[in-house]
Amino acid sequence: MNHLSNASTTTKDPPSISGSTEICAIIGDPIAHTLSPAVHNAAFRSLKMDLVYVPFRVRRNELGMAIEGFRSIGVIGINVTMPHKSRVLRFLDRIDDTAREIGAVNTVARKSTRLHGYNTDGKAAVTALSHLGSLSGRKALILGAGGAAKAIAYQLSETADSIVILNRTRSNGARLASKITKWNGIPSHSYVLSGTNLRREARRGNLLINTLPAHVFPRFGEILIEEKIAEGDMLVMDANYELKNDFLTEARNSGAKAIDGLEMLIEQASLSFKLWTGVDAPIDVMRKAAAEARAIR
Ligand code: NDP
């Protein structure tokens, strides 16, 4: 498939759409906040590809119809975000082993007429974190047990020494902890998300990953700041990418290495890009576009 366009453009130009332009999409609800269109369209333009990336708000009960619509119009790739990552599996033709284990798909790629589902969130998070330091033998603490936590835990279980899960709903945390041990045989425990459990478990770990939503995390972030948890050789990541994050700022000021979720988003976008186009993503272009789009939203 030839995705190259003859148009002369810069990464800032609006997409040039012709009769031959092919479509990639992102679906979720809500979707207006997404940075992914800025990231992918900048990448397509920089490589002069005749592709455009469009966000679609798809309500929970319309997911099947949306996927069939994309199938019939020949969309070449779809990113899937909340709340569809788990339910979308039933509408696809083939699920990659990683996505099946995690039980969630964040990337769909069309292969001929079939739709294949993948999960690139875990690999993206681990790649982003490994820029901070080695993950080998780390005692990890993950806040949350939803789609992002599962994907990250799956990938991290290959190198970490142990993984503890703190989650609001006890059964969801317990299910993830037992899966982690099944995946790679490492010890994993779960506890209810509470200040007491957070204080105790955060002190025992040296890798802390937050996957609680951005409006939930700050009250737990405050506890971590009060306790001076993030210091020394601690690595920290918040999967969210709000511009203001007091905990990450404090962690960096105290000597820990800390990142927000922007780099995870970029790594995830670059893996999707490769699955759809077969071409290595221009990751620096994507990084710049993501930072610019975040700054103005
Ligand atoms: P899910 O809905 O799958 O999981 C949400 C998690 O947060 C669950 O563990 C849930 O606990 C917990 N939670 C939700 N509300 C509350 C609350 N009020 N109090 C305590 N816990 C709560 O979402 P995802 O895992 O897909 O996403 C989580 C976050 O990570 C989102 O903010 C998302 O934007 C971000 N993310 C970032 C990515 C990136 O590329 N940077 C990629 C993917 C996600 P319970 O089990 O009790 O429901």
Average pLDDT in the chain: 94
Name all residues whose Cβ lies below 6 A of ligand 1. 82, 121, 144-149, 167-169, 172, 193, 211-214, 216, 239-241, 261, 264-265, 268
In a 13 Å sphere around the CA of 11, the CA atoms on its Cβ side amount to: 19
- Give the SS3 label for residue 139: strand
pLDDT of residue 292: 96
Checking if the pLDDT of 5 tops 80, the result is: no
Q: Is the pLDDT of residue 152 over 60?
A: yes
pLDDT over 90 at 4, yes or no: no
Report which secondary-structure segment, H or E, holds 157. none
Q: How many Å apart are CA 191 and CA 195, to the nearest integer?
A: 11
Asked if 71 and 91 touch (Cβ cutoff 8 Å), the reply is no
228-257, pLDDT tens digit by residue?
888 888 999 999 998 899 999 999 999 999
Return the residue whose CA atom lies nearest to atom 8 of ligand 1.
146
Helix, strand, coil percentages (3-state) for the chain, rounded to 5, are: 45, 20, 35
In ligand 1, the atom with minimum distance to the C-alpha of 83 is: 2
Ligand 1: residue whose CA is nearest its atom 5: 146
Q: Whose CA is nearest to atom 17 of ligand 1?
A: 216
Nearest ligand 1 atom to the CA of 81 is 26
pTM for the model stands at 0.93
Closest atom of ligand 1 relative to the 145 alpha carbon: 9
Residue-by-residue DSSP string for 8-24:
---TTSPP---TT-EEE
Q: 285 pLDDT exceeds 80?
A: yes
Arithmetic mean of pLDDT, 77-100:
97
95: Cβ–Cβ under 8 A, 6 or more apart, which residues? 89, 105, 116, 117
Residues tagged active-site: 85
Query: Tens digits of per-residue pLDDT, 219-235?
Result: 999 999 998 888 888 99
- The confidence band for 214, taking pLDDT boundaries of 50, 70 and 90, is very high
**Average pLDDT of the segment spanning 272-280:** 98
pLDDT of residue 150: 96
